[in-house]
Amino acid sequence: MKNIYSNIHSFNKKVIKKTVLFLKQGNIIGLPTETVYGLAGNAYSKKAVKKIFKLKKRPNRNPLIIHYDKIKKANQDVILNKKFFKLYKNFCPGPLTFVLKKNKFSKIASSATANLNTVAIRFPNNRVIRAVLKQLPFPLAMPSANISSTLSPVNAFDVFDDFKKKIKIIINDGSSKIGIESTVVDLTGKPKILRPGIISSSDIRNCLKVNLSRKKSKLKSPGLLKKHYSPGIPVIIGKKPKKLEHAYIVFGKKFKNLSNYFNLSKKADLKEAAANLYKTMRKIKKKGFKKIFVAKIPNLGPGIAINDRLKRASR
């Protein structure tokens, strides 16, 4: 029988070599990170960046995150500052993205940053993406590997679901450990969270020892503008379903084990819940449920990021 997943490969030296070659030739590859899977291309190539936007059906005005393995390489494209170094020391490599000013020598394709004078950079912490970045002479522009406005992928098969054979290689490294996208922090002025994530605003405040800005910024992350992270069926927050054909996402130990109940974390662990969020929504959709109801999830730490994604999915 023909293997329909023939473009999904597991991690080994040979695959990394091929991936590096394909990326150098301007191709787009599906790669794992600790947050979600990404759609990677040469950030210095206008052509590669164009392919990413086209594959994702992403609006041009929504900039991409540029991924590096080392500070030294990032230093060639952005102006690093003290706050960056403090946060880097505490959290990187890891699920934190920094918005910084672009420097005048930067080779990043202007389309990758939607012609802004700022760049979002990240140092992902996953053995595959790090092995690839290490061997490349350029950084990777890498949005989540899903069609724009839908759920981010947390394993190689989720990537396949959206792009099939349109990408030559998808490297499989199991389920993404964190399961939701990185925290985005703007460091171009008073630090400000643009997208909440596992690293919370209090983690950042405690590290920098400054209060964060709560002002609404002119530049918004995509989900701030419209519907995002959508599973493709209605999501209703804070209510219980009345029918069995409606799924109920719950959290903690007080819930029953009914066939339409999906518990994000029986032990009420918000990190575990975040890791299960997209996985669970995809499962519910695949099982044919018509609607998703969601129980209340504590709005603290990773719970803030979970509620942010749920709220946008419910629009």
Q: Which residues bind to ligand TXA, rule: CB under 6 A?
A: 33, 35-36, 38, 62-65, 97, 99, 113, 116, 118-120, 122, 124, 142-144, 181-182, 184, 194-195, 219, 221-222
Smallest distance, ligand TXA to C-beta of residue 153, A:
9
User: By C-beta, is 102 or 285 nearer to ligand TXA?
Assistant: 102
In the complex, minimum distance from the CB of residue 33 to ligand TXA, in angstroms, rounded to a whole number: 5
Q: How far is the CB of 52 from Mg ion (least distance, A)?
A: 11
| 87/142 with CB nearer ligand TXA | 142
Name residues whose C-beta falls within 8 Å of residue 65's C-beta, 6 or more positions apart in sequence.
Answer: 97, 120, 121, 122, 141, 142, 143, 182, 184
The residue behind tokens 């947390």 is 154
| Residues of span 106-145 touching Mg ion by CB under 5 A | 144
Distance CA(206)–CA(199), nearest Å, equals: 11
- The closest of 229, 309, 295 to 262, measured between CA atoms, is 295
Place of tokens 């500052």: 81
3-state SS, residue 41? strand
Closest distance to Mg ion from the beta carbon of 43 (Å): 16
The residue among 210 and 225 lying less far from Mg ion, judged by its C-beta, is 225
Q: State both tokens at 283.
A: 């499962």
CA distance 302 to 295: 16
**CB of 116: closest distance to ligand TXA in angstroms?**
5
As beta bridge partners, residue 125 has none
Instruction: Answer yes or no whether residue 200 interacts with Mg ion by CB under 5 A.
Output: no
Q: In the complex, what is the shortest distance from the CB of residue 204 to Mg ion, in angstroms, rounded to a whole number?
A: 21
Are 250 and 295 within 8 A, CB to CB?
A: yes
191 binds, among Mg ion, ligand TXA, none (CB under 5 to 8 A by kind): none
| Closer Cβ to ligand TXA, 144 or 263, answer by number | 144
**By the 8 A CB rule, do 107 and 48 touch?**
no
Q: Who's near 30: CB < 8 A, 6+ residues apart?
A: 37, 38, 39, 40, 145, 156, 159, 160, 163, 167, 169, 170, 171
199, interface contact from ligand TXA, Mg ion, none, CB < 5-8 Å by kind: none
167 or 295, CB closer to ligand TXA?
167
Would you tell me which residues interact with Mg ion (CB under 5 A)? 144
